[in-house]
Amino acid sequence: MASYLSRSTDARAKSHPMSLSSDEIERYARHIVLRHVGGPGQQKLKAARVLIIGAGALGSPLIQYLAAAGIGMLGVVDDDVVSLSNLQRQVVHGTPDIGRPKLDSARDKVAALNPHVRFVAHAEHLTAANALALVAGYDIVADGSDNFDTRYAVSDACFYAGKVLVTAAVNEFDGSLTTLKPHLAGEGGKPNPTYRCLFPHKPPPGLVPTCSEAGVLGALTGLIGAMQAIEVLREIVGFGEGLTGKLLLIDALSMRFETMRYAWDPANPLNGAGPARAQR
């Protein structure tokens, strides 16, 4: 997968050499000897700028695995504080962090895990009004939010900013994961699908129960968040077959994984064939 993102990070690494220190060479030794990653791939990771939406259930494994992998700049958007009920699944935080801003405990965890990673805290709630400004300074966005308003705002902003988006969701015993590149052409010259091609409309309020109402299997969020981190790494380095136009579905009750294909909808309001466009 020679992706747009891997080419852009490769160009940045060449224009601003991202040499690895002796400490980094030892730290990332298992990546450097790994086929399809190697030293050049690790340099792309060091040159990359990744924005994570949410420091909660999905954000926790994302933050830790991307920091451990050596992402050069890791931005996190969150305005919440740690509560006791978070700790069943939000493993980037601990009992002593109860009452602290999630960004503070996440920053501490990243600093302890990998001092080579620059952690950028965005202590605000992402909305349609500020999403474009937030994603603008990053190469790739990983959405781990827990509500549809944020998911639509992030996906629209990534389209307008020309950013790759890896988005995931989880509920009770199931979850999903996909990658969105609607700013790029897909197979046959048609546009790649948008989030609105997959989910044209937000569900009515109350139709989809929240995590606090329905519950969620804690370990499942770790699984999906880790898979989301893998997809981010694949996009940056440029290996494997990505999830553009494919929705990965995970069912923890039957331990079943399925992949559903979806396509560009000409009626979608972002890159569709009609004149209507979603508001920035």
DSSP H helical ranges for 70-143: 102-113, 131-135
Prediction pTM value: 0.92
Whole-number Cα distances in Å, 177 to 25, 59, 92, 192, 257 = 31, 14, 21, 16, 11
Strands lying side by side in the sheet with 49-53 = 118-122, 73-77, 49-53, 140-143, 164-171, 174-180, 246-251, 256-261
Contacts (Cβ under 8 Å, ≥6 apart) of 60: 89, 90, 91, 92, 93, 221, 222, 225
> Which residue from 71, 63, 70, 72 is spatially nearest to 25, judged by alpha carbons?
70
Tokens found for residue 202: 């937000």
pLDDT digits (tens, 9 = 90+) for 72-96: 999 999 999 999 999 999 999 999 9
Q: How far apart are the first and last CA of the chain?
A: 30
Tokens found for residue 250: 């995970």
Tokens found for residue 55: 């420091």
Evaluate the CA torsion angle 261, 264, 267, 270 in order and state its sign. positive
Cβ atoms of residues 157 and 228 within 8 Å = no
Q: Which residues, in sequence order, are bridge partners of residue 203? A: none
Cβ atoms of residues 123 and 104 within 8 Å = no
| pLDDT for res 8 | 62
Whole-number Cα distances in Å, 109 to 102, 115, 228 = 11, 10, 19
Whether 158 is a known active-site residue: answer: no
Instruction: Give the number of residues written for the chain.
Output: 280
User: pLDDT tens digits for the chain (280 residues)?
Assistant: 545 566 666 656 555 457 999 999 999 999 999 999 999 999 999 999 999 999 999 999 999 999 999 999 999 999 999 999 999 999 999 999 999 999 999 999 999 999 999 999 999 999 999 999 999 999 999 999 999 999 999 999 999 999 999 999 999 999 999 999 999 998 888 899 999 999 998 888 777 777 778 899 999 999 999 999 999 999 999 999 999 999 999 999 999 999 999 999 999 999 988 654 544 4
DSSP H helical ranges for the chain: 4-15, 22-27, 29-32, 38-47, 59-69, 102-113, 131-135, 148-161, 195-198, 211-214, 218-237
| pLDDT for res 280 | 41
Tokens found for residue 195: 């989030």
d(CA 245, CA 197): 10
Question: Strands 246-251 and 256-261: what pairing?
Answer: antiparallel
128, 211, 230, 263: which one is catalytic? Answer: 211
| pLDDT for res 10 | 63
With 0-12 / 13-18 / 19 or more C-beta atoms within 10 angstroms meaning exposed / middle / buried, residue 279 is: exposed
| pLDDT for res 36 | 95
Q: Radius of gyration of the chain from Cα atoms?
A: 18
